[in-house]
């Protein structure tokens, strides 16, 4: 007896590949977001320690303020990049979740298919046994034997 093949097997394999790819992309995006956050935190920490101490002349003070402003702009840009990177990582994670859900749906269909095949095989086996038992009973009756009854 020929076994029924799961016709969606190539689609399931494609979905599994897409899920793995999306998972790798999500991991890379999360790593990039963590790196951007670390760089922003380092820039903010460097900004707080950039204030010069002690007496200084007006030219030095002006130069220190310009440097502090540039450092603050760099820190703000790093924080904006970290925020954007975190948002992008969340979008990629959502994409990965959707891919996993699509794969899970096809896996459930495959499980149902395998269960249906198993039940069909079991029913065919039971029919075969029933046919054997019924056939023997019919042959005994035709041969003139009296079937045994309670």
Provide the CA 27 distance to its chain's centre, in angstroms: 11
Structure tokens at 41: 């935190």
Q: With 80 as the cut, is the pLDDT of residue 134 above it?
A: yes
- pLDDT one-digit tens code per residue, 37-65: 999 998 888 877 766 677 778 888 888 78
Is residue 136 one of the residues assigned to a domain?
A: no
Residue 121 located in a structural domain: no
33 domain residue, yes or no: yes
The pLDDT mean for the chain works out to: 85
Q: Is residue 14 part of a domain?
A: yes
113 occurs within a structural domain? no
Domain housing 93: 9-103
The pLDDT assigned to 142 comes to 60
User: In terms of pTM, does the model score above 0.85?
Assistant: no
Tell me, what's the pLDDT at 35? 94
Residue 149 lies in a domain: no
On whether residue 46 sits in a domain, the answer given is yes
Domain count, the chain: 1
At 13-45, the pLDDT tens digits run 999 999 999 999 999 999 999 999 999 998 888
Plot region of 54 (φ>0 → left; ψ -120 to 50 → alpha; else → beta): left
Angle at 109 between CA 106 and CA 114, to 5 degrees: 125
Determine, yes or no, domain membership for 3.
Answer: no
């Amino acid at each position: 007896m020929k076994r029924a093949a799961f016709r969606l097997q190539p689609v399931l394999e494609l979905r599994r590949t897409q899920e793995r790819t999306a998972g790798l992309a999500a991991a890379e995006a999360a790593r990039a977001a963590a790196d951007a956050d670390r760089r922003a935190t380092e820039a903010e920490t460097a900004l707080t320690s950039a204030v010069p101490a002690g007496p200084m002349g007006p030219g030095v003070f002006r130069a220190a303020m310009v440097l502090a402003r540039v450092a603050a702009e760099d820190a703000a840009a790093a924080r904006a990049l970290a925020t954007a990177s975190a948002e992008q990582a969340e979008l990629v994670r959502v994409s990965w979740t959707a891919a996993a859900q699509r794969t899970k749906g096809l896996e459930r269909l495959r499980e149902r298919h395998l269960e249906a095949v198993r039940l069909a095989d079991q029913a065919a086996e039971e029919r075969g046994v029933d046919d054997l038992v019924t056939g023997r009973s019919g042959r005994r009756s035709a041969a003139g034997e009296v079937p045994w009854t309670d």
